[in-house]
Structure 1
């Protein structure tokens, strides 16, 4: 939670090994929380940083102020910071880059440098005195409008291009601008359904459609996926019921957990089947007896993951370590 402290310790998403202290302006202090991203000044740039700690005081001088808090909710919990720090130390890698790599790509704000022609540059094109690479670059900018600097470098691979660009800029025939480009990640949308208040009589509806209508009425509104969980054929029927004036389909932005699905507490580990018990017993008996390899075969949803978890638990009870690799990030929450 936020305690509206005036300073924060920030890891910037750059290849620098240390963290930095920034001041949080008064209007932003209630938004500053560990795990959120912030936009901070860094030398001549504006970069994305991650709040690692809230600070009441600092003995540093000349502390810069953050420019903005970029998130409504934290991107990671405070409990993840020791893990990020361990990775940074063990692999000799900047902690800001570690956090950036742990979160989905496309979140961070980046800089885009563009080049455009000025009115003075256009007037030079109208005369006969300009030729060679200067004219080539100015003609390209006049025809295409503002162009990303990186694109120009690709288009003009000749060795003269950097010198040409500096010469045109000194003459004020072109202007370079550095702009912030927002992240590519967009809100995750989920389809919802709700009942129409003034709708036709439900008498002509089939039994399944009346059941769908009753479920939606009881919930007020609900995700379409949840409705499909209660009525397997709802997906094919809801669109028709919406066309007939019984239901309304709409989209709503939902929270996208950057670290995967939330792992919700349950009533404890499930009871093992006979086959699971025998496998867990065999694995547990081999712990500490040297390197061995096992292949656990089973169809989808046969209970393999629970066997892995029991084997890991038995390993941890012996003060040993375990590493579980999964083929895709979505399986981590299992």
Structure 2
């Protein structure tokens, strides 16, 4: 009986979003298992694609003749049973294609590229022969697309497919000394052959000690000498697989000892470790003020899981946070820690993923994508700064890492710790209803008070001696820190030099040609840049509309503030940390290391500096403009502003020196700023929940956002209204539909965007209707439509 492989093919459409049956050839009968990548023929003709085996059976649902599996791309499954089940759950809950979810869970280097080439077809023509230029085949990518298409349709050319697996294992040569009579070998050498005598002495010592060093680590011997020695039979150069370890320098340091816990910390650790021991999938919300020692709690809880022979997983929200957290976790657990985040190279991600899959790593630390790490036997899951919006994926599959972790924890019978000084309203509301268990760390570990927060009214600041973006009190505080050789952190949540360029004569604002958004000035590259599509153009000297030379920069960005700091405080050493300065690999770590070692007096950055950073010499935090987030037309604007201000305020005074915070704002009476000034999360929670209740917003309602885009605005509008009518037919009267309406940025990358939002409490027919919507709109994708469904969007913009 022929075995059958159920394969999800790498063709992401609704029509192909199901397993297809393939016959397993006898030669591969013992090789193919669920979770392996394979190479198969698909559709009519000779097309070949990659796929994932999701099951192996003896019965096929297909009555015709099955195509065979052409090749197996893996020696062992890359997804286990839990991983395959997780990928299907992810597809079902995020309205995404199964194959897209599988690829999201795997490292980039496990993606298979399809190489297309052409050979002469059954009806060759002179044009086809000329195109091949004497070769048997040529890559399609090197040839004119239109010409190739016509020749294929005429059977003059035929397309061949080949798989190119990106997975590359790094190897290194190791020196293996041979069992020789070293004295006899030395006797054969000339007395003045000093280098050869030295090499023989090294080899004799290595053999005696049983050492086989890496060739690259032996600095006193050249590669040519090693090759010559191998020819003499003194040694063999053995190629071995090595890992691309991103933090290898941390693996060999002495491990840190657990710190003494405060009574509050000890209570939290005891409560969570009891759940670890009981294998109880309980969710804990750890609400701890900044500096209360949440990280030490995490470390001791993870240590408890490891002591029981289990593993631990910890997520952090930003790459900027990862270096410091990696230092803390590797400092405690050493080489058993694997790290996963987007700042690593593809090779490093692949090797860290393989270490985890092979069981060589016991602890995983990483950003959002680490939620899919193939870690087995997990005893505890931890999500630090659980409120962060970066845990939500913006494109398909639109998952929230918290949901993935909660799902995995349920299957693993393991507790989850959600930690934050400012929990999301959804999590805090679940704790209020006892869905989550709330744990509290209300005091800093050193018994230091939280830093006093001064709110500066910028409407009056200029009249009181302020200069540019700096009020007089903030400037004076910066000068005082410089005099005391203490450090300061300044946050402005807007990168670039200025927000826009406008003509003072006619009011013309330089817009992106592809998006309905103004271009941002970047002085380092002397360009205007769109932060959405990447369009760049030179800075104009005259207005493109009226020809006036009165074109000026308006608004403030981190580059402009940096320039102002150099003018106002010429002796201050300033480090700027934003997307532009951290593009290169290791950029975050270089800047943070330099600041931590005292190489700068002021760290200026966007919101990436607001969370998790712990520098004992920072005694001042300044927020240049607290209103950038408040002005957004989004129901979460106040929550995000409060969280950001509270988090960045917590960077000051974390050690023995007292801290101080200055918040500059044009809205000093806004409740988010008032509660942040008083470090009053519970007060903010109560007021914001009352506002959400009146407005029928989460966490009182679930939400789904439906987005349609097209290059023709009329087509996009017609499509969204048609989908709205379809939804209204199945929604109950209690559901609330916002829209259809143009998106806040109505055009992005030359596509017009329309959206609607459904707010609901219980709609049993909604999920199946949305799945049907996706199925129907797949056919219109060829006409230029793009439809996206986002469950629990972080923003309605």
Whether 1:196 aligns to 2:178 is yes
Counterpart for residue 236 of structure 1? 220
What does residue range 288-307 of structure 1 map to in structure 2 within 5 Å?
A: 288=285, 290=287
SS class of match (1:81):
helix
Task: Note closer, same or farther for the CA distance 1:85–1:294 as it changes in structure 2 (3 Å cut).
Answer: farther
SS class of match (1:30):
coil
Whether 1:152 aligns to 2:143 is yes
Structure 1 residues 161-211: Cα deviation after superposition (integer angstroms, max 9, x where no partner): 46x952x56667x424323143244443221221134464277966x9757
Q: Which shifted more, 30-39 or 236-245?
A: 236-245
Q: Displacement of 1:324 after TM fit?
A: 3.7
Counterpart for residue 417 of structure 2? none
Contact 1:187 1:253 in 2 (8 A): no
Counterpart for residue 129 of structure 1? none
Number of paired residues? 278
What does residue range 201-280 of structure 1 map to in structure 2 within 5 Å?
A: 201=183, 210=201, 213-216=204-207, 219=210, 222=212, 224=214, 234-237=218-221, 240=225, 243-244=228-229, 247-252=234-239, 254=241, 272-274=257-259, 277=261
What does residue range 123-138 of structure 1 map to in structure 2 within 5 Å?
A: none
Counterpart for residue 54 of structure 1? 56
Counterpart for residue 114 of structure 2? 110
Q: Displacement of 1:243 after TM fit?
A: 4.4
Whether 1:30 aligns to 2:16 is no
Counterpart for residue 97 of structure 1? 100
Counterpart for residue 7 of structure 2? 10
TM-score (norm 1): 0.60
Task: Note closer, same or farther for the CA distance 1:32–1:289 as it changes in structure 2 (3 Å cut).
Answer: closer
Q: Displacement of 1:104 after TM fit?
A: 3.0
Q: Which shifted more, 107-116 or 5-14?
A: 107-116
Task: Note closer, same or farther for the CA distance 1:107–1:11 as it changes in structure 2 (3 Å cut).
Answer: same
What is the rounded CA distance, in whole Å, between the counterparts of 1:36 and 1:282 in structure 2?
Answer: 45
What is the rounded CA distance, in whole Å, between the counterparts of 1:149 and 1:241 in structure 2?
Answer: 44
Counterpart for residue 267 of structure 1? none
Q: Displacement of 1:216 after TM fit?
A: 3.9
Structure 1 residues 37-80: Cα deviation after superposition (integer angstroms, max 9, x where no partner): 21222213221111222224344423433222222222233332
Task: Note closer, same or farther for the CA distance 1:280–1:8 as it changes in structure 2 (3 Å cut).
Answer: farther
Task: Note closer, same or farther for the CA distance 1:241–1:165 as it changes in structure 2 (3 Å cut).
Answer: closer
What is the rounded CA distance, in whole Å, between the counterparts of 1:20 and 1:119 in structure 2?
Answer: 32
Task: Note closer, same or farther for the CA distance 1:6–1:120 as it changes in structure 2 (3 Å cut).
Answer: closer
SS class of match (1:50):
strand
Counterpart for residue 695 of structure 2? none
Q: Pick from 170, 174, 179 the counterpart of residue 161 of structure 2.
A: 179
Task: Note closer, same or farther for the CA distance 1:198–1:211 as it changes in structure 2 (3 Å cut).
Answer: closer
Q: Displacement of 1:100 after TM fit?
A: 2.7
> RMSD between aligned alpha carbons?
5.0
Q: Which shifted more, 33-42 or 140-149?
A: 140-149
SS class of match (2:83):
helix
Structure 1: unaligned runs, 5 residues or longer:
126-136, 155-160, 229-233, 262-269, 298-303, 315-320
Counterpart for residue 41 of structure 1? 41
Q: Displacement of 1:20 after TM fit?
A: 2.3
Contact 1:12 1:49 in 2 (8 A): yes
Counterpart for residue 82 of structure 2? 79
Task: Note closer, same or farther for the CA distance 1:120–1:88 as it changes in structure 2 (3 Å cut).
Answer: closer
What is the rounded CA distance, in whole Å, between the counterparts of 1:189 and 1:140 in structure 2?
Answer: 39
Whether 1:323 aligns to 2:338 is no
What is the rounded CA distance, in whole Å, between the counterparts of 2:19 and 2:4 in structure 1?
Answer: 13
What is the rounded CA distance, in whole Å, between the counterparts of 2:292 and 2:201 in structure 1?
Answer: 49
Counterpart for residue 318 of structure 1? none
Counterpart for residue 589 of structure 2? none
What is the rounded CA distance, in whole Å, between the counterparts of 1:82 and 1:140 in structure 2?
Answer: 47
Q: Displacement of 1:242 after TM fit?
A: 6.1
Structure 1 residues 246-274: Cα deviation after superposition (integer angstroms, max 9, x where no partner): 743524353879xx99xxxxxxxx88432
Q: Displacement of 1:238 after TM fit?
A: 7.9
Task: Note closer, same or farther for the CA distance 1:42–1:118 as it changes in structure 2 (3 Å cut).
Answer: closer
What is the rounded CA distance, in whole Å, between the counterparts of 1:313 and 1:5 in structure 2?
Answer: 49
Task: Note closer, same or farther for the CA distance 1:112–1:99 as it changes in structure 2 (3 Å cut).
Answer: same
Structure 1 residues 84-126: Cα deviation after superposition (integer angstroms, max 9, x where no partner): 223222322222222234133364251414376999744xx8x
SS class of match (2:33):
coil
Contact 2:39 2:163 in 1 (8 A): no
Contact 1:121 1:138 in 2 (8 A): yes
SS class of match (1:84):
helix
Q: Displacement of 1:36 after TM fit?
A: 1.7
What is the rounded CA distance, in whole Å, between the counterparts of 1:288 and 1:79 in structure 2?
Answer: 26
What is the rounded CA distance, in whole Å, between the counterparts of 1:97 and 1:253 in structure 2?
Answer: 33
SS class of match (1:90):
helix
Counterpart for residue 281 of structure 1? 265
TM-score (norm 2): 0.29
Contact 2:34 2:54 in 1 (8 A): yes
Structure 2: unaligned runs, 5 residues or longer:
187-193, 247-254, 270-283, 305-312, 323-340, 364-797
